Structure 1
Amino acid sequence: MTRSDVLDAVARRLVERDPGHPLRVGVDGVCGVGKSTFAEELVGRIAAHGRPAILLDSDGFHHVRAVRYRQGRESARGYYEDAYDFDALRDLALRPLGPGGSRRYAARVHDLATDEVRREFATAPGDAVVVFAATFLQRDGLREHWDEVVYLDASIERAEGRGIVRDAEHLGGRDAAEQAYAFRYMAACRIYLDEQDPRGRASIVVDHDDPLHPRVVEPRA
């Protein structure tokens, strides 16, 4: 299957779901695996199949810097526990979009560029598919609020290599990026994999070792 085929297969599965409220879809996987790009393309395919599609940007659900780095700028546990404001995601977005909810959800709660708390709200159509991509989104307390989770599965080495190339300029060069991934980002992902088994808990698993040639592993097409 081509990448286009895989995106269409996943989109078809999602648009066939009708839980009676907006469908809440998480795109999960380790750092560097390609979650954001996959989510953006998936939203386009869902819309092409005739369902309203909404992409929530994970950058809008970070904690402020004082919280993100309270365990140290190189702390893996700190990144795992403090990077994202998952309480706000759950209480202000996923619950309102879920059973019996108002459908008025937070599109963002934080501005990453200015580090300001900034809540912006919107109302989702009842038949919308809402897609959010981030690592750690199947942690305890959040996992049960997803209707579907797409897990992009790739080896740590491949995902880390892609992430380093992508983030080198932002992190101060390749050497700095390698250090950041080794001691903070990918180290945090290893904690997540060990504690939560996100691949095993996902409803859809896509082999994403080669993003140009992904493959649906579960459920089998």
Structure 2
Amino acid sequence: MIHASIDGFHHPRALRHARGSRDPEGFYRDSYDLAALQEHLLDPFAPGGHGQYRTRVFDARTDTPDVAEQQQAAPGTVLIVDGIFLHRPELRGYWTWSLWLDVERATTLQRCVARDGSGSPAPADASNRRYVEGQQLYLDDAAPQQQATHVVDDNDLTRPVPLR
């Protein structure tokens, strides 16, 4: 089994924020380098893929390339990818199984503040516009809850509830 995150495939900050640092469209459309994700991680595991993969190519925290060493997956290796925006139309054909964690917006923001140690947990706060409205663009464009093969209510981390 190989585990990777879409977070290893960010665009550089200048591109992520080209539409403005608080722009929701930029958050949804420009955060991730989907071509690199496909080339270095997804295509190698796709049917007919060569199995030579990288789990990351960029570090968003340092805003610098961070290219993982290329590795060779054994035949039959399972790839698990986590992160946001993975049910985008451009990526749907890669998944044989997917999970949507259904969580209230306020809960996701509280978790984000707890994780990062900064920000506002209030969905209506102006500082959250990029993320709240960007996530809504994703929901409208990709309908991830309908695309996922499994859906779990994850509002209570101690008691996830399978919905589908």
Q: Indicate whether the TM-score tops 0.5.
A: yes
Greater displacement, 101-110 / 116-125 = 116-125
Q: Give the letter aligned to residue 76 of structure 2.
A: D
Is 1:59 the equivalent of 2:10? Answer: no
Matches within 5 A, 1:175-186: 178-181=125-128, 183-186=129-132
Q: Give the letter aligned to residue 62 of structure 1.
A: H
Q: Could you tell me how far apart the structure 2 residues matched to 1:214 and 1:101 are?
A: 35
Matches within 5 A, 1:20-169: 53-120=1-68, 121-169=70-118
Q: Give the letter aligned to residue 27 of structure 2.
A: Y
Q: CA deviation at 1:68?
A: 0.7
Is 1:200 the equivalent of 2:146? Answer: yes
Q: Could you tell me how far apart the structure 2 residues matched to 1:94 and 1:80 are?
A: 20
Q: 1:162 to 1:118 in 2, by over 3 A?
A: closer
Q: 1:95 to 1:184 in 2, by over 3 A?
A: same
Q: CA deviation at 1:168?
A: 3.5
Q: Could you tell me how far apart the structure 1 residues matched to 2:23 and 2:156 are?
A: 29
Q: CA deviation at 1:117?
A: 2.4
Question: Which structure has the highest strand share of the two?
Answer: 1
Structure 1 unaligned spans of 5+? 1-52
Q: Could you tell me how far apart the structure 2 residues matched to 1:188 and 1:174 are?
A: 16
Larger relative CO (CA 8 A, sep 6+): 1 or 2? 1
CA RMSD of aligned residues (A): 2.0
Q: CA deviation at 1:105?
A: 1.0
CA contact 1:109–1:117 (8 Å) conserved in 2: yes
Q: Give the letter aligned to residue 195 of structure 1.
A: D
Question: Which structure has the highest helix share of the two?
Answer: 1
Q: 1:118 to 1:166 in 2, by over 3 A?
A: closer
Structure 2 unaligned spans of 5+? none
Q: CA deviation at 1:156?
A: 1.9
- TM normalised by structure 1 equals 0.67
The percentage of counterpart residues that share the same residue type is 34
CA offsets 1:8-59 (integer angstroms, 9 cap, x no match):
xxxxxxxxxxxxxxxxxxxxxxxxxxxxxxxxxxxxxxxxxxxxx2211333
Greater displacement, 132-141 / 153-162 = 153-162
Q: 1:164 to 1:111 in 2, by over 3 A?
A: closer
CA offsets 1:114-156 (integer angstroms, 9 cap, x no match):
3222332212222222111111111121111112111101222
Q: 1:168 to 1:176 in 2, by over 3 A?
A: farther
Residue 70 of structure 1: SS of its match in structure 2? coil
- TM normalised by structure 2 equals 0.88
